[in-house]
Amino acid sequence: MQRLRKDDDPRNSKTFPDKGSPKEEVFAALKEYKKDDLDWRSGRVWAYTYHDNTMEEIEQVAKHAYMEFLTESGLDPTVFPSLMRFENELVSMSANHVNGGPDVVGNFTSGGTESIMLAVKTARDWARAHRPHITKPNMVLPVTAHAAFHKAGQYMDVETKTTPVDSTTFRALVEPMREAVDENTILIVGSAPSYGHGVIDPMEEIGQVAVEKDILYHVDACMGGFALPYFRRLGEDIPPFGFEVPGVTSLSMDLHKYAYTPKGASIILYKDKDLRRHQIFSFSQWTGYTMINNTIQSTKTGGPIAAAWATVKYLGDDGYLKLAEKALRTRKAVVDGINRIPKLRVLSHPQMTLVGFTSDEVNVFHIIDEMKERGWYVQPQLAYDNSPANIHLSINPSNEKWVDAVLADLAECVEVAAKLPKSDLAETVQQMFASINPDDLTPEMFSNMLNMAGVQGHEVPERMAEINMILDALPPLIRERLLGEFVNDLFVYRGE
């Protein structure tokens, strides 16, 4: 076989393999590549994965279904009707779970981001059809709404107008949302719950604004869509957040989070087909096949959809209730435990399994590094608006067995971290950049900043506190540019 690229620059020198390799060698290489990945099965990881390690069979069932449909294609529903059947059944079950009536329709997507991007695209195209006077559409959303809305706004050219949240509950303030809606607003957003603090926005009041102003209303239930109805059944005070709320026109709920299915699985729902029509892409002005797509992907594997269907079937209502009970118990124990640790406080009162906690005395980024040294993975969240820098936990049933251990280590880490210095560099950087316009900064300047913080090429230091303190000190627009440059440099081949 001809080499695809030949170049002496090591960055571009990875050539296509000349000859095939025995499968054993390929399999061994897969294992070798995996060795530094996060050991999420341990239950010591408090983000990224959703999992219960006492039920190994969930994974077996999902993998079986995934492999069975790995090679089927979701491009054309008429030739693989199995996939359409899985999709319609999953959509119907999901709609039912969030009080969707008989008119509610939806689709299976690759994740929360795709669901949200489709909701924004649908709103934009609905407005083009029904509000033709709007030439510069915008959406109104609380500052706690997921970054995916801003991504959708950037991709789809819909402006985002963010509004403040209460500084103790971190719930959306409705009056500023009402005031932010103008004649160009096409969509308003609420989260059930928000990722950062795990609290549910005043969904009904936001719905009133939507009805009053006659605009579309998207509920981001990516996290809560599957779990919250169980929490309610378990006696938690969970306010209405689904299609029973007047004004709701679309809702996203991720299967690959608290429905415990493999990644690449989410559901987008619409109040009816009239609205969903604006999501569909149908095109025949070219020389190939007529392309009709519900979602962003076209040719796609049937794996995630079959695996999601199989997982839901296998677990069933009783299985999900048990998992919810375990996750809820774990969250309660963790929140109570954190609030008992001197110098720590949980932000607001998390209503689901997502927790943000902070310290007014100790730098949280040192705490995160200390936790990492003790084998725990927890997620940093930088300060923004009235939310201080904090530590995020997405709690899973598999974390339950570690509750006492994690709280004991956390208490110890707080004391160790309290003795560690603040970053002088962070303060210098803060002063330097306070008045700089990010557009005046060149990629070279960003690369120098990264080097100063200890990032060499694509190697990040073991201890991330200094980098996190610098990021936290920087104006958000500069943070974004810096991280963009970092990732732009990360995805470059640099040799073995």
Ligand X SMILES: *Cc1c(COP(=O)(O)O)cnc(C)c1O
**Which residues form the interface with ligand X (CB under 6 A)?**
111-113, 116, 146, 148, 191, 195, 220, 222-223, 254, 266
Shortest spacing between CB 146 and ligand X, in angstroms: 3
49 vs 266, beta carbon nearer ligand X: 266
How many angstroms separate the CA atoms of 436 and 356, rounded? 30
Question: Of 392, 447, 389, 451, nearest to 422 (Cα)?
Answer: 389
Query: Which one, 116 or 347, has the nearer CB to ligand X?
Result: 116
Q: How far is the CB of 241 from ligand X (least distance, A)?
A: 12
Closest separation in Å from C-beta 324 to ligand X: 17
The distance from CA 176 to its chain's CA centroid, rounded to whole angstroms, is 25
Kindly tell me which of 47 and 455 has the beta carbon lying closer to ligand X. Answer: 47
The two tokens of residue 325 are 């009970």
CB nearer to ligand X: pick between 243 and 433: 243
Toward ligand X, which CB reaches closer, 112 or 142?
A: 112
Q: Which residues of 39-75 are buried (b: 16+ CB within 10 A; e: fewer)?
A: ebeebbbbbebbbbbebeebbebbeebbeebeebebb
Min CB(379)–ligand X separation in Å: 12
Exposure letters 102-133 (e unless 16+ CB within 10 A, then b): eebbbbbbbbbbbbbbbbbbbbbbbbeeebee
How many helices (DSSP H) and strands (DSSP E) are in the chain? Answer: 16, 13
Rounded to a whole number of angstroms, the minimum distance from the CB of residue 210 to ligand X is 19
Min separation Cβ 256 and ligand X, Å: 6
Q: Across the strands, what pairs with 138?
A: 159, 185
Query: Nearer Cβ to ligand X, position 152 or 453?
Result: 152
Q: Is the dihedral of CA 152, 100, 275, 304 positive or negative?
A: positive
Q: Which of 272, 268, 319 is nearest to 119 (CA)?
A: 268
Residue count of the chain = 496
Residue 420 beta carbon to ligand X: minimum distance, rounded to whole angstroms: 31
Q: How many CB atoms lie within 10 A of CB 383?
A: 15
What's the token pair of residue 376? 């725990």
Q: What is the full DSSP assignment across 303-359?
A: HHHHHHHHHHHHHHHHHHHHHHHHHHHHHHHHHHHHHHSTT-EESS--SSSEEEEE-
CB of 401 to ligand X, least distance (A): 24
CB of 196 to ligand X, least distance (A): 9
State in angstroms the smallest separation of the CB of 88 from ligand X: 21
**Under the phi-then-psi rule, with left for phi > 0, alpha for psi from -120 to 50, and beta for the rest, what region is 212?**
alpha
b/e map 256-286, b = 16+ CB within 10 Å: bbbbbbbbbbbbbbbbeeebbebbeeeeeee
* Cβ proximity of 403 and 337 under 8 Å: yes
Which position's Cβ is nearest ligand X? 112
Nearest residue (CB) to ligand X, 194 versus 363? 194
Comparing CB distances to ligand X, the nearer of 147 and 492 is 147
Here the tokens at position 350 are: 């998390």
Nearer to ligand X, 394 or 398 (CB): 394
- Measured from the CB atom, the residue of 266 and 423 that comes closer to ligand X is 266
Task: Check: CB of residue 311 under 8 Å from CB of residue 86.
Answer: no
- Which tokens sit at 25? 């060698």
Pairing mode, if any, of strands 185-191 and 345-346? unpaired
Nearest distance in Å: CB 223, ligand X: 4
Q: Which is nearer to ligand X, 115 or 363 (CB)?
A: 115
